[in-house]
């Protein structure tokens, strides 16, 4: 069984991701997920061939992970168990210091692309939820 807050959509027709190959770092949105699912998704994304991953934040208590995605993603993000916050150009400063007090970079800027493709992230979160469900049903 999937833990509360860990379900993901299986839609193969997600909202079209912003199609610019250059992402303005000051205009990224932030997808937040439970840490367990987020860490699984990070592993899946790192194993993917050619799947780029942007910076990833974790909160101070390590309860959630946040993936930077292109601006505009929040308008059509519908993955259950996650939230996508629109920055509306207020700007996430992509420098070594985390943009939110009490957080830290799991994958800092400079070691990652500017943003994670939301379509790729949606697939990784779905796979992560299925892996966690399978692992939990074996115990």
Low pLDDT (below 70) residues in the chain:
1-26, 49-51, 88-100, 139
CB 33 within 8 A of CB 69: no
At 129 the pLDDT is 94
**Strand stretches in the chain, DSSP E:** 29-34, 56-59, 64-69, 83-85, 103-107
- Among 35, 7, 1, smallest CA distance to 136 is for 1
At 95 the pLDDT is 60
Instruction: Show me where the domains of the chain are located.
Output: 31-137
At 60 the pLDDT is 79
pTM given for the model: 0.76
Q: How far apart are CA 26 and CA 87, in angstroms?
A: 8
- Per residue in 5-34, pLDDT (tens digit) is 444 333 333 444 444 334 445 578 999 999
Q: How far apart are CA 75 and CA 90, in angstroms?
A: 16
């Amino acid at each position: 069984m999937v833990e509360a807050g860990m379900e993901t959509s299986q839609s193969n027709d997600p909202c079209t991701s912003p199609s610019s190959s250059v992402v303005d770092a000051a205009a990224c949105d932030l997808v937040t997920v439970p840490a367990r699912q987020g860490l699984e998704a990070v592993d899946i994304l790192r194993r993917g061939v050619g799947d780029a991953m942007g910076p990833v934040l974790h909160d101070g208590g390590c309860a959630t992970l946040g993936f930077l995605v292109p601006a505009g993603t929040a308008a059509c993000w519908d993955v259950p168990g996650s939230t996508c916050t629109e920055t509306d150009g207020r700007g996430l400063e992509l420098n070594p210091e985390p943009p939110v007090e009490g957080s830290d970079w799991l994958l800092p800027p400079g070691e990652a692309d500017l943003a994670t493709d939301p379509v790729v992230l949606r697939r990784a979160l779905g796979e992560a939820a299925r892996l966690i469900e399978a692992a939990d049903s074996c115990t």
